[in-house]
Amino acid sequence: ETGVTQSPTHLIKTRGQQVTLRCSSQSGHNTVSWYQQALGQGPQFIFQYYREEENGRGNFPPRFSGLQFPNYSSELNVNALELDDSALYLCASSLGPSTEAFFGQGTRLTVV
Amino acid sequence: DQQVKQNSPSLSVQEGRISILNCDYTNSMFDYFLWYKKYPAEGPTFLISISSIKDKNEDGRFTVFLNKSAKHLSLHIVPSQPGDSAVYFCAANKSYQKVTFGTGTKLQVIP
pLDDT tens by residue, A16-47: 999 999 999 998 899 999 999 998 889 999 99
Contacts of residue A84, defined as CB under 8 A and 6 or more positions apart, other chains included, come to A111
pLDDT in tens, A56-67: 899 999 999 999
Contact residues on chain B for A105, CB-CB shorter than 8 A: 41-43
User: Model confidence over B68-105: pLDDT tens digits?
Assistant: 999 999 999 999 999 999 999 999 988 767 889 999 99
Residue B16 confidence class, pLDDT cut points 50, 70, 90: very high
Among the partner residues A48, A58, A103, nearest to B44 by beta-carbon distance: A103
Q: How far is A80 from chain B (nearest CA, A)?
A: 25
Strands A10-13 and A107-111: parallel
- What percent of chain B stands above pLDDT 90? 87
Interface contact B102-A56, CB threshold 8 A: no
Residue B97 CA from chain centroid, whole number: 19
Sheet holding B4-5, edge to edge: B4-5, B19-25, B72-77, B62-67, B56-59
Percentage of chain A lying above the pLDDT 90 cut: 80
CB within 8 A of A73, min separation 6: which ones?
A22, A23, A24, A25, A32
Three-state SS at A84: helix
- Write the pLDDT tens digit of every residue in B20-57: 999 999 999 999 999 999 998 889 999 999 999 999 99
Interface test with B, best of A39, A45, A59 (most B CBs within 10 A): A45
Find the CB nearest A45 among B34, B46, B100: B100
With beta carbons less than 8 A apart as the criterion, state whether A46 and A35 touch. Answer: yes
In this predicted structure, what is the pLDDT of residue A2? 65
Instruction: Determine contact: A32 vs chain B, CB below 8 A.
Output: no
Inter-residue contact A55 to A49 (CB < 8 Å): yes
User: Helix or strand or coil: residue B99?
Assistant: coil
Cβ–Cβ < 8 Å for A2, A24: yes
Where residue A96 falls among pLDDT bands split at 50, 70, 90? confident
Residue A88 has pLDDT above 80, yes or no: yes
